[in-house]
Amino acid sequence: MLSSIKTMFLILAATFTFGFTYFCLKSDIFQELYLAKFNSKLQHRQSIFYRTNPDCHPAEAIKCKNELFRLMNKLRKRVSLDQDENLPKCPEIPPDLGPLDIKFAYNMSLLKIISQNPNLQPGGHSRPKYCTALQKIAIIIPFRNRESHLRTWLYYMHPFLQQQQADYGVYVVEQTEDTLFNRAKLMNVGYSVAIKDYNYTCFIFTDVDIIPMDGRNLFRCSDNPRHMANSVDKFNFKLPYNDIFGGIVAFTKEQFIKVNGFSNVFWGWGGEDDELFQRVVAMGMKVERPDQTIARSKMISHKRDPGNESTGKSFHLIKKAHERLHKDGLNSLIYTIISITSHKLYTKITVDIGNGEDASSTEGILNLFNL
């Protein structure tokens, strides 16, 4: 009798321990704790790296940067992105897509967004469960001081991308210094980091404040670079001018390399998008755009951010876009990664991209590129 009570007790205890362990492993809290530990390890590695490589700071850092990447990626790769390659291909057009109700009134908490997206992997990655996606997409967002916009973006865009059966990762690229914002250079940094993270085939560069209003606006790359913010409420759902190329653009890896990425010398608001358009044309490509009804999008209304004033120099720069193309872009990109951290909803890249001193005057910029 005593021994059967003992056995029952043991079975109960074992079931409880097993159940509890399973629950912990699955739960958000555990995953968050795991990530926090993982991130602190990452930062620790970085600080050791900088201590033991005192010369490794800004400008001449290309060699060191690669070494640092190698170290950090070794750790980050532990968060597995392996996929079962035997799954069937996903359909060209995912099912059940249509108009979406987008309102900016919510005060979204990160925890709520996390709980609504249980299938996300650390770093804001996701891919369809039952099929192999047609493209592997990195979403790159330039960022500084727009926390509430980012929350709104994450709230709407994770479900949007998952509905589209996308295999994707979200990269938020934050400029650390208080100096003039450089959206284009941040995009180049996002591309350079993401390409080392996973075998992405498509790069979508998007503002943090634009949300598509229809699931049929497929976040995909095509035979030519795509402009996907061609029907924004702010512009009455029309193109304000023909060559506009701002807001959201999509490039395959090959297309982005062909144009040498964005220019790095556009500090402050404006012009960098038009310059990229010129690069696309100069390299013999066309710009594609989705149907304007399907591409309807909402932009969160906002004032110009402090630190993103227009310098009035972009006009001169755009004029010389063709000449600068091969010397200014991915192949001349200089930056220092401060940290790369895997949040549940996105990968955050904090970066020092300099302060544009080399480009503090139009003459300075033109001299820099011998123009």
Quick one: which of 67, 178, 305, 323 contacts ligand UD2 (CB under 6 A)? 305
Q: Of 265, 259, 274, which Cα lies nearest the Cα of 354? A: 265
- Near ligand UD2 by CB under 6 A, which window of 66-74, 128-136, 243-251, 330-338? 243-251
Catalytic (active site) residue 209: yes
CB 158 within 8 Å of CB 117: yes
Kindly tell me which residue out of 123, 247, 290, 329 binds ligand UD2, with binding defined by CB under 6 A: 247
Q: Which of residues 267-286 bind ligand UD2 (CB under 6 A)?
A: 269-270, 272-273
DSSP assignment letter at 330: G
Secondary structure tally for the chain: helices H, strands E: 11, 10
**Judged by CB under 6 A, does residue 145 bind ligand UD2?**
yes
| Minimum distance of ligand UD2 from residue 74's CB (angstroms) | 30
Q: Is 273 in the site for Mn ion (CB under 5 A)?
A: no
The answer to whether residue 269 is catalytic is: yes
78 classed as catalytic: no
Selecting among 299, 309, 352, 358, the annotated active-site residue is: 299
d(Cα 371, Cα 361) in Å, to the nearest integer? Answer: 14
Q: Nearest distance from residue 146's CB to Mn ion, in Å?
A: 9
The residue sitting closest to ligand UD2, measured at its beta carbon, is 246
- Quick one: 235 or 369, whose CB is closer to ligand UD2? 235
For the chain, first and last CA: distance in Å? Answer: 95
Among 209, 214, 275, 328, binds ligand UD2 (CB under 6 A): 209
Does the active-site annotation cover 273? yes
Closest to Mn ion by CB, 197 vs 209, is 209
Instruction: DSSP letter for 224, please.
Output: S
Give Cβ neighbours of residue 51 (< 8 Å, ≥ 6 apart): none
Nearest Cα to 112, choosing from 56, 79, 156?
Answer: 156
Least distance between ligand UD2 and beta carbon 350 (Å)? 13
Active site residue 272: yes
Of the pair 31, 308, the CB lying nearest ligand UD2 is at 308
- At residue 120, φ and ψ (nearest 5 deg) are -75, 145
Rounded to whole angstroms, the Cα distance separating 102 from 233 reads: 12
Cβ burial, residue 31 (10 Å; 0-12/13-18/19+): middle
- For 287-302, the DSSP string reads -B---TTTT-EEE---
233 is catalytic: no
Nearer to Mn ion by C-beta: 189 or 211? 211
| Residue 238 vs 302, nearer CB to Mn ion | 302
Q: Does residue 147 carry a catalytic annotation? A: no
Contact 188, 261 (CB under 8 A): yes
Show the site string, 182-211: x = touches Mn ion by CB under 5 A, - = not.
Answer: ---------------------------x--
Q: Quick one: which segment of 2-10, 125-133, 244-252, 338-346 binds ligand UD2 (CB under 6 A)?
A: 244-252
DSSP 172-206: EEEE-SSS---HHHHHHHHHHHHHHHS---EEEEE
Give 338: exposed, middle or buried? Use CB within 10 Å, 0-12, 13-18, 19+. Answer: middle
Return residues touching ligand UD2 (CB under 6 A). 141-146, 181, 183, 207-210, 229, 232, 244, 246-247, 269-270, 272-273, 304-305, 307-308
Return residues touching Mn ion (CB under 5 A). 209
Q: Indicate which residues carry an active-site annotation.
A: 207, 209, 269, 272-273, 299, 302, 304
